[in-house]
Structure 1
Amino acid sequence: MSSARRLMATMSNNWSLKNGLSLWCPQSTSLNRLPRQSSVPSRSFRRSYTVLSSSFANENREYVIVGGGNAAGYAARTFVEHGMANGKLCIVSKEAYAPYERPALTKGYLFPSDKKPARLPGFHTCVGSGGERQTSEWYKEQGIEMLYEDPVTGIDIEKQTLTTNSGKLLKYGTLIISTGCTASRFPEKIGGKLLGVHYIRDVADADSLIASLEKARKVVVVGGGYIGMEVAAAAVGWKLDTTVIFPEDHLLQRLFTPSLARKYEELYQENGVKFMKGVSIENLEAGSDGRVAAVKLGNGSTIDADTIIIGIGAKPAVSPFESVGLNTTVGGIQVDGQFRTSIPGIFAIGDVAAFPLKMYNRIARVEHVDHARRSAQHCIKALLSSQTHTYDYLPYFYSRVFEYEGSPRKVWWQFFGDNVGETIEIGNFDPKITTFWMDAGKLKGVLLESGSPEEFQLLPKLARSQPFLDKAKLKNATSVEEALEVARAALQDEAAV
């Protein structure tokens, strides 16, 4: 089996439908049921903050956040809200920019120049949740030290020090690890580093892709998940010959049912996108100029391509923090319900944290902007205030595509809850459609496409309360609106009991 085939097969197996979109939650009872006594300290603590030698005199930071993504931006805002940022907080980032709302990179950022693409500073955190735009100037005004393009390369837990790529030595009192994920890549030996092959995790990646799209004729997207769907939709805006390849039998197999996926696939096909499902990749082939020229499939056939985007998942960026304590089952750094690691004074938030998913009684690691925001806020509030309650997250995923100017149809779906049990689908995707996941008569998860603001607001209430639903009434609903009213009534009935 080729390296590419093994890689895609492994990613496909790890992304089981039951685990949700980027929600990697194995179902083994022995591994993932929450223990009666957590190995993570449950008491409140504070690290000692003592200068060990004069060499640290100008390098002491009371609070240090490592990582410059969404979670870091929201954590910084929470520090400011508690009056604990000015002169106390330092953020160490490998990026050249202040934290920004990363979902924009595969959505509005990729629009062609004539369709009003998103650009910084327009989507710095925390505009994604209606907050103030935190530009680099904002951090200066708040007295927050920002170390750009200088990732952390080492940690000494006993001395409470960090070493950065430039050789800087930082002494911390409290450390918040917010390093997120890195893109899973094809090996170099099968063409993973050829010119014209792209991965998207940051602005530099997106800028590189845009430069290729400006000259591209034939685009291949590898992966049928979030990245695949969003990049393919953006490529339509460029009017490019676009093919999406993935090993599963339908789009977004970790969440969509076959019926739901088919409707989205048909919409993409109406926009000129071609799909090759259930296929493996042998390697990426280069042309005489050294750029990628084709994709060779496992069956020996080839597809011409001058631009390839690989979207086959991501890995938690745990280096150099393995010694803090990893969860070998779900990946990432193990934390408790307040995002404390097993080392006093060290926390982990966002994509990199393996945390107790309270409402489903299992350990999870969630790669999504909503969790990045909420985990950051919960962690910092617990650190700086008397808040002691456990993080109680409701899984939430969404996507927005075809939103550029001139698009005949904009797409926006939201999902809340757990995609387990049997499904009931209502609607004809014209444009609305909804899918309910039910187990033992109780609603477990719900997805809605093209809902009104009021309808979208109903979804988390349903998923959180998990009311018993009358399946006959639900199946007999003649519209999405009627089905949601059946669910709303069940919710009200349970509230009245």
Structure 2
Amino acid sequence: MSTVGRFMATMSNSLSLKHGVSLYSSTSSSFSLSKLHCKPSLVASRPFYNRRCFSISASSSFANDNREYVIVGGGNAAGYAARTFVEHGLADGKLCIVTKEAYAPYERPALTKGYLFPLDKKPARLPGFHTCVGGGGERQTPEWYQEKGIEMIYEDAVTGVDIEKHTLQTQSGKSLKYGSLIVATGCTATRFPEKIGGNLPGVHYVRDVADADSLIESLKKAKKVVIVGGGYIGMEVAAAAVGWNLDTTVIFPEDHLLQRLFTPSLARKYEELYEQNGVKFVKGAMIKNLEAGSDGSVAAVNLENGSTIEADTIIIGIGAKPAVGPFENVGLDTTVGGIEVDGLFRSKVPGIFAIGDVAAFPLKMYDRVARVEHVDHARKSAQHCVSALLSARTHTYDYLPYFYSRVFEYEGSQRKVWWQFFGDNVGEAVEVGNFDPKIATFWIDSGRLKGVLVESGSPEEFQLLPKIAKAQPLVDKAKLQSASSVEEALEIIHQSM
């Protein structure tokens, strides 16, 4: 097996939902260090010790390099953390956000959905999806941060942290003092090695606006698109490519789409929908290398079986890895990756917290450590962490895993797709419905419902899903299997509660 073949197989096997990794898809205060007071956490019995730090200075100008609270990151988690600081009245003159991007925190899911639509299909654009729009609330544009007295440092990546001195170093040479630090750096895309063409012109990875802008420029000129990966990125980018009327092929090493969540039967129904839209699938494929053309740009994908697929644009969507970068000395989890935290998102280092994709946290309801790469967790972990930091709140994070996807949501689409999943995909799967108009899959383990996925559900049905996944009711499997519709199946489960 080639280097990239082994690489893709390893990625596929390592990102199991059952082990807590998601399927897809991150002001200065003029106070003196001598006046910084720290108290032990109110909950001394928690697994990690943490200090509660605060300034006693009344000044809130941006006159020096001391920041009471600093957030590193520019995604959903950073945006929702900022909103929670504002809600507690502790943002103005006290909070600083450092991001390597040129934009205020934004809702990243749009980048592989509406952002990739062609101009005639009303694509999403900033500031339309700045946080906190997706979760409801005031749109947090750059002006919002300015109005709230939050210091923003743009286009300046953090390169180091001095734990003893409570100091961050940035790429531009800044040295930032912090009282409490929240790491919300998210993930970076897993890339193909350069030696097999991973950095050729025309090869794309999508994690931020700059990536998406570059891809759109390629799609404008593209004729043949190849997408590597059969997960979230693969499905969403392929659906967008259909909107551009492009020759689109999706390649992946597994035997069906979204193998870490979909059952073979459910996956086949989605594959048929994509094939009806002209998308071609090459399953069980291992890539040998990406080949350059005479102009130096990518021209083809060479497979291990000797076949070649022409392509002028290639999108790699084979997973992501936590962006721990300079924070490795804070304490990493060796099983799921990321920064190890407790149920209040406190790391092992006093005064340092981690939220969103980069946090390896206790998944309470399933009694395991997890790292979840999803917008829902980014929002909720940010709110929980900041509320615990700023108040006497001590109850641990109790998260219910939630994943969703929306594709083909542009004008002229044969069918708009929106599915939601809650819980854990363990045990035996029971499928109800025929995909048109809707379908559901229920996972039952030891008689209890552990997970549920519904496609094309009503608002009322989608509201019911987290309730039943959280309750994990005992279910009569035979009765559920005999249900004639999704509505009947959900009613059976609802009655069992």
Q: Do Structure 1 and Structure 2 share a fold, with TM-score over 0.5?
A: yes
Write the mapping of 1:117-136 to structure 2, written as runs, cut at 5 A.
Answer: 117-136=123-142
Aligned AA (2:494): R
CA distance in 2 between counterparts of 1:19 and 1:444 reads 15
Q: Deviations over 1:377-411 (max 9, x none)?
A: 00000000111000000000000000011111000
- Counterpart selection for 1:67 from 73, 83, 94: 73
Count the aligned residue pairs: 475
CA distance in 2 between counterparts of 1:149 and 1:75 reads 19
Match of 1:46 in 2: 52
- Counterpart selection for 1:357 from 344, 363, 366: 363
CA distance in 1 between counterparts of 2:412 and 2:298 reads 31
Q: Deviations over 1:406-433 (max 9, x none)?
A: 1110000000000000010000000200
Give the drift of 1:42. 4.8
Give the drift of 1:41. 4.6
Write the mapping of 1:252-331 to structure 2, written as runs, cut at 5 A.
Answer: 252-331=258-337
- Counterpart selection for 1:84 from 67, 84, 90: 90
Q: TM-score, normalised by structure 1?
A: 0.93
CA distance in 2 between counterparts of 1:354 and 1:20 reads 9
CA distance in 2 between counterparts of 1:333 and 1:42 reads 13
CA distance in 2 between counterparts of 1:38 and 1:131 reads 35
Kindly report structure 1 stretches of 4+ aligned residues shifted beyond 3 Å: 16-21, 37-44, 47-51
Instruction: Sort the Cα spacing of 1:126 and 1:17 in 2 relative to 1 into closer, same or farther, 3 A.
Output: closer
Aligned AA (1:476): S
- Counterpart selection for 2:171 from 165, 175, 192: 165
Instruction: Sort the Cα spacing of 1:38 and 1:45 in 2 relative to 1 into closer, same or farther, 3 A.
Output: closer
Instruction: Sort the Cα spacing of 1:48 and 1:38 in 2 relative to 1 into closer, same or farther, 3 A.
Output: closer
CA distance in 2 between counterparts of 1:213 and 1:340 reads 43
Contact (CA 8 Å) 2:50, 2:349: kept in 1 or not? Answer: no
Match of 1:15 in 2: 15
Give the drift of 1:300. 1.1
CA distance in 2 between counterparts of 1:392 and 1:68 reads 25
Tell me the SS of whatever aligns to 1:404.
coil
**2:409 is aligned with 1:386:** no
Contact (CA 8 Å) 1:90, 1:145: kept in 2 or not? Answer: yes
Q: TM-score, normalised by structure 2?
A: 0.93
Tell me the SS of whatever aligns to 2:110.
helix
Match of 1:5 in 2: 5
Match of 1:348 in 2: 354
Match of 1:148 in 2: 154
Tell me the SS of whatever aligns to 1:128.
coil
CA distance in 1 between counterparts of 2:292 and 2:469 reads 48
Aligned AA (2:3): S
Share of identical aligned residues, percent? Answer: 80
Match of 2:34 in 1: none
Contact (CA 8 Å) 1:69, 1:180: kept in 2 or not? Answer: yes
Aligned AA (2:301): V
Instruction: Sort the Cα spacing of 1:201 and 1:40 in 2 relative to 1 into closer, same or farther, 3 A.
Output: farther
Tell me the SS of whatever aligns to 2:451.
strand
Tell me the SS of whatever aligns to 1:366.
coil
Give the drift of 1:48. 7.3
Give the drift of 1:3. 2.1
CA distance in 1 between counterparts of 2:435 and 2:82 reads 41
Aligned AA (1:292): V
- Counterpart selection for 1:481 from 471, 487, 490: 487
**2:236 is aligned with 1:230:** yes
CA distance in 2 between counterparts of 1:17 and 1:388 reads 28
Give the drift of 1:477. 0.5
Give the drift of 1:486. 0.5
Tell me the SS of whatever aligns to 2:240.
helix
Aligned AA (1:220): V
Aligned AA (2:307): S
Give the drift of 1:38. 11
CA distance in 1 between counterparts of 2:136 and 2:281 reads 37
**In angstroms, what is the RMSD of aligned CA positions?**
1.8
CA distance in 2 between counterparts of 1:44 and 1:209 reads 43
Aligned AA (1:474): L
**2:413 is aligned with 1:407:** yes
CA distance in 2 between counterparts of 1:163 and 1:50 reads 25
- Counterpart selection for 1:464 from 440, 461, 470: 470
Give the drift of 1:18. 3.4
Instruction: Sort the Cα spacing of 1:443 and 1:41 in 2 relative to 1 into closer, same or farther, 3 A.
Output: closer
- Counterpart selection for 1:191 from 189, 193, 197: 197
CA distance in 2 between counterparts of 1:206 and 1:298 reads 29
Give the drift of 1:22. 1.3
Contact (CA 8 Å) 1:243, 1:273: kept in 2 or not? Answer: yes
The answer for unaligned runs of 5 or more in structure 2 is 25-42
Aligned AA (2:195): K
CA distance in 1 between counterparts of 2:358 and 2:103 reads 20
Tell me the SS of whatever aligns to 2:326.
coil
